[in-house]
Structure 1
Amino acid sequence: MDGSFKGILYPARLPTFNRLAAPESVAELVQWFWIPEWDIEPGRTSRQHLIANPAANLVVQMDNVVYSGPTTRAGYRDLNGRGWAVGALLRPAAVPVFTDDPGSLRDAELALPLGDLQSSVARAMNAPDGGTRRERAVDAFASWLGALGYSPSEEALLANRMMDIIGSDPEVARVDDVAARLAVSGRTLQRIARKYIGISPSALIRRRRLQDAAEKARLDPSADLADIAAELGYTDHAHLTNDFQKFLGLTPSTYRRAVGS
């Protein structure tokens, strides 16, 4: 999965970033693991802009562990000095392990007293490399999750399937499309999204389309923005521009110029 930058607005500015597949033992709990590493000269800062996936993350850092709730807008992190993080992009089924109200943690972070997880991942990341420290860190993280003994319910697994469909099927443009694929009602989707994600299904669809639009605009500078809007199901170019301005604070054209600079 290395080299996948969807959701990262300016990947050329990223120090070092790896995405690793979740081991099969935790595949129902984790979408993937992500590991940024940086070593920035004194006095400088690297600002990383993100359209984060609309899901929660459990992030092991050099000195703590944080649960980061789903986001509703673009954000950034400033990196300085030398450091690393090992994050797990949580699938909806994992959320009840950490909170019974994911909506209360939208756009927020909560430090968790998980010293055993932090220490085991840190040992792997700080050990002599041998080219496998990231894999060892993921194994330690997955082992900790597995030791929790948590088994997702059928409802939680339905929430996973809902997120999978929204995140991977470009033909899905409305909540009714998702409901039809899962053979459930729109009301059921609203309920499980509230319980396991903290963001509505319609907002999830809008976020996926925005991520796709940003990626297409970045990867193909010659592509017509109106064609991108039509391909992704926007009514017109103006609606794409409105989404960019609402969530990113800039127009698609401005983003394209910035990412090429």
Structure 2
Amino acid sequence: MTGSEDPRTGDPRGILYPARLPTFHRLPAPPELEGLIRWFWIPRWQVAPGRTSRQELLPFPASNLVVQLEAVTLSGPSSRASFRDLRGTGWAVGALLRPAAAVQLHPDLGALRDAEVPFNAPDLHSAVVQAMMPDGGASSRAHAASVFSRWVAGRLASPDEAGRLANAMEEAIAADRQITRVEQVAAQLSTSARGIQRLARSHVGLPPLAIIRRYRLQEAAQRLRADPAVRIADVAAELGYADQAHLSRDFRTVLGLTPRDYRQDGGRDGSQDGDRDGP
């Protein structure tokens, strides 16, 4: 199943320039793991010798466990936009971790912020590499996600009470674009703002306000990309910003460019050859 066919993987946020992606698929986690894995993401690329394909992202405020041919790595939450330069031929199989899973894989997610570290999981690496090596096609991707799922089910516990609350915090922020303050999240979850702050730092590795702003910025970028006619001031109002200047300031701080510049740059996307499903 491809991401474009399943509502659980159809979220368009996070990819700044979709038309520049290599072959890219998202596959849903099995229902029994939805409290641990948001989805699996699988890019595959073939870049001409001597050339580089730069993939620019505004990552979800979360950690990722990633298997590539060379190794397994754990990437912590990002505080800013990021990029990855692709060269040659390759693939990756990543799991976007829910807060209840991330906290089980690293003792201090705050220390993992903006970092990618080796993760010792030789059995996971061997199983995913064997699944992907035949051709990287649909059957290989499905097999890789399946063996990854089995590893997660055998390694990680079901979310405990704190994990369930952390997942609910993330879901509330992701789903409700009217949330702009920590106190709103606390009210929805019937807890205190201080409790939300502790939960965000322990299970995500970012302050809760940074999580809120990341989702709102992702939504702003998606709106500007999808609707060339929409006014930037209207996007700012829709997402709870006091005015266009505040949105522009956040854009410039995190992405390094203004909303206007992003819209103009995004309009010059160039598609690559090969099949590509919605990210």
With normalisation by structure 2, the TM-score equals 0.91
C-alpha separation between the residues in 2 aligned to 1:86 and 1:245?
A: 31
C-alpha separation between the residues in 2 aligned to 1:113 and 1:158?
A: 28
47-56 or 141-150: bigger deviation? 141-150
- Give the letter for the 1:161 counterpart: A
- In structure 1, the residue matched to 2:50 is 43
- Displacement, 1:151? 2.8
Work out which structure has the larger RCO, using CA pairs closer than 8 Å and 6 or more positions apart in sequence: 2
Contact 1:4–1:19 at 8 Å: present in 2 too?
A: no
- In structure 2, the residue matched to 1:120 is 127
C-alpha separation between the residues in 1 aligned to 2:64 and 2:27?
A: 14
C-alpha separation between the residues in 1 aligned to 2:109 and 2:148?
A: 22
- Displacement, 1:131? 3.1
- In structure 2, the residue matched to 1:169 is 176
- Give the letter for the 1:219 counterpart: A
In the TM superposition, 1:1-261 aligns within 5 A as 1-2=3-4, 4-128=11-135, 131-148=138-155, 150-261=157-268
C-alpha separation between the residues in 1 aligned to 2:44 and 2:66?
A: 13
69-78 or 129-138: bigger deviation? 129-138
Task: Flag the 1:167–1:198 CA change in 2: closer, same or farther, 3 A.
Answer: same
C-alpha separation between the residues in 1 aligned to 2:82 and 2:208?
A: 21
Contact 1:74–1:247 at 8 Å: present in 2 too?
A: yes
With normalisation by structure 1, the TM-score equals 0.97
Deviation by residue 1:217-253 (Cα, 9 ceiling, x = unmatched): 0010111111111111111111111011000000111
C-alpha separation between the residues in 1 aligned to 2:136 and 2:114?
A: 34
140-149 or 81-90: bigger deviation? 140-149
Computed over aligned residues only, the root mean square deviation of the Cα atoms, in angstroms, reads 1.2
C-alpha separation between the residues in 2 aligned to 1:235 and 1:11?
A: 29
- In structure 1, the residue matched to 2:272 is none
Task: Flag the 1:4–1:149 CA change in 2: closer, same or farther, 3 A.
Answer: closer
124-133 or 26-35: bigger deviation? 124-133
Amino-acid identity (%): 52
* Uncovered stretches (5+) of structure 1, i.e. residues with no partner: none
C-alpha separation between the residues in 2 aligned to 1:249 and 1:198?
A: 22
- Displacement, 1:259? 0.5
Contact 1:174–1:205 at 8 Å: present in 2 too?
A: yes
Deviation by residue 1:43-102 (Cα, 9 ceiling, x = unmatched): 111000000001000001111000000000001000010000011000000123211210
Task: Flag the 1:230–1:99 CA change in 2: closer, same or farther, 3 A.
Answer: same
* Uncovered stretches (5+) of structure 2, i.e. residues with no partner: 5-9, 269-279
Contact 2:36–2:158 at 8 Å: present in 1 too?
A: no
Deviation by residue 1:162-188 (Cα, 9 ceiling, x = unmatched): 001011111212111111110001111
C-alpha separation between the residues in 1 aligned to 2:32 and 2:150?
A: 9
Task: Flag the 1:80–1:4 CA change in 2: closer, same or farther, 3 A.
Answer: farther
C-alpha separation between the residues in 2 aligned to 1:128 and 1:36?
A: 13
Contact 1:25–1:142 at 8 Å: present in 2 too?
A: no
- Displacement, 1:194? 1.1
- Displacement, 1:130? 6.4
